[in-house]
Amino acid sequence: MSTQELKSTIRDMVVVGKGILAADESVKTATKRLASIGTESTEETRRQYRNLILTAPGIEKYICGVILFEETLSQKTDNGISFPEHLTKVGVVPGIKVDEGLAEFEGSVEQYTKGLDGLGSRLEKYKKFGCRFAKWRAVYHITENTPTEMAIKRNAEDLAKYAKICQEHGIVPIVEPEVLIDGTHSIDTCYKVTEKVLKEVFAALKKENVMIDYTILKPSMVISGKEASNRAGVDEVAGKTVKCLKATVPAELPSINFLSGGQAPQEATAHLNRMHTLGENLPWYVSFSYARALQDPALKTWQGKKENFGAGQIAFIKRAKLNSLATMGKYAENMENNNLNIVAVH
């Protein structure tokens, strides 16, 4: 197997000041997002929304890769170019979510991820659309009795099998183990669970002979449960996240790109920024792969209305720029009220 493709994809996706946009919401999730602005979810409204985000002028200054959903691969921009072609043209690497969603372990709240069957042939199909990387998400629920050893092990093994198949097909795998934020748990409980999960994931990747230097990790941050009392502040989240990653993630991994996992956009940016101002030596590039924390302000501004198209794009570019600054520790809270010289082109 030639590693040339993997090498050039990593080169194009690990770029100082840039991060990854997750725009891979399944139809079910996209429908939920559109419902939040009172817009019906149809193939056409999903296309219109993706067109707003993916054709935002200047996206390539802050975003190096976009995770797409299968439906989007064959949809077109308002200018009639397919979305993957448009992204490639502006210098952004297209990628694809290849997992097929979650299923419950019998009699449990715990879940595993579907999609290993026929993955190789699907990857070959996605490559023809220009996709150069893939994403697979596993989730871990924190309750009194979970996550169990069984769920941690099974999800790690499946993430490793997926990553191996991707690399065999010249596709860079994004490995996404998400410790869910839902619940009343403390940040210390989240730390313990995340540490266990990441140790198991890297042990499984090693066992499966996955090339770590051609892999991207998309983890959740170490953070208090959403309904916890006395939730940890920015310094503690950043400090404990970096400590946990240093204890579990090999230095040869090129890039860690966080998910936002239900954090407010401003919160996700502040946490990332703080990780870069702790004065810690970070052996990997540390950046973002947010969906909601990058898109929510744009969605709310757009409201499904043509006349808000330009303003929606500005809202998206602003979030992308603020997160870009955060990857360099250059974000400050007062920038939230500034227009950052972003202007509408349409």
Q: How many residues bind ligand 5MM (CB under 6 A)?
A: 16
Please count the helices (runs of H) and the strands (runs of E) in the chain: 13, 10
Cβ atoms of residues 208 and 251 within 8 Å: no
**Residue 260 in contact with ligand 5MM, rule: CB under 6 A:** yes
- Which residue, 23 or 310, has its beta carbon nearer to ligand 5MM? 23
The least CB distance from residue 209 to ligand 5MM, in Å, is 26
Q: Which of 25, 97, 164, 176 is catalytic?
A: 176
Mind giving me the DSSP string for 206-229? HHTT--GGG-EE-PPP----TT-S
Residue 318 a catalytic site member: no
The least CB distance from residue 103 to ligand 5MM, in Å, is 13
Cβ-Cβ contacts under 8 Å for 119 (sequence gap 6 or more): 98, 162, 165
Q: Could you give the CA distance from residue 111 to residue 95 in angstroms, rounded to a whole number? A: 24
What is the length of the chain?
346
Backbone angles phi, psi at 176, to 5 degrees: -120, 90
- Which residue, 101 or 233, has its beta carbon nearer to ligand 5MM? 101
**Residue 178 in contact with ligand 5MM, rule: CB under 6 A:** yes
Q: Could you give the CA distance from residue 223 to residue 181 in angstroms, rounded to a whole number? A: 7
Q: Residues 48-77: x/- map of binding to ligand 5MM (CB under 6 A)?
A: -------------------x----------
Among 29, 146, 186, 189, binds ligand 5MM (CB under 6 A): 29
**Buried/exposed 328-341: b ≥16 CB within 10 Å, e otherwise:** eeebeeeeeeeeee
Closest among 234, 216, 236 to 284, alpha carbons compared: 216
Interface with ligand 5MM by CB under 6 A: which range of 106-114, 184-192, 256-264, 323-331? 256-264
**Residue 194 in contact with ligand 5MM, rule: CB under 6 A:** no
Interface with ligand 5MM by CB under 6 A: which range of 25-33, 153-161, 187-195, 231-239? 25-33
Element (H, E) at 155: helix 149-168
The least CB distance from residue 148 to ligand 5MM, in Å, is 21
Among 46, 122, 137, 319, binds ligand 5MM (CB under 6 A): 137
Cβ atoms of residues 239 and 277 within 8 Å: no
**Residue 182 in contact with ligand 5MM, rule: CB under 6 A:** no
- Which residue, 123 or 299, has its beta carbon nearer to ligand 5MM? 299
- Which residue, 173 or 310, has its beta carbon nearer to ligand 5MM? 173
Structure tokens belonging to residue 163: 């990553």
**Residue 287 in contact with ligand 5MM, rule: CB under 6 A:** no
Q: In 93-135, which ranges are continuous DSSP H helix?
A: 119-128
**Residue 148 in contact with ligand 5MM, rule: CB under 6 A:** no
Q: What angle do CA 210, 253, 84 make, to 5 degrees?
A: 80
- Which residue, 271 or 310, has its beta carbon nearer to ligand 5MM? 271
Residue 218 a catalytic site member: yes
Q: Looking at the annotation, which residues are catalytic?
A: 176, 218
Binding site for ligand 5MM (CB under 6 A): 22, 24-26, 29, 67, 101, 137, 178, 259-261, 290-293
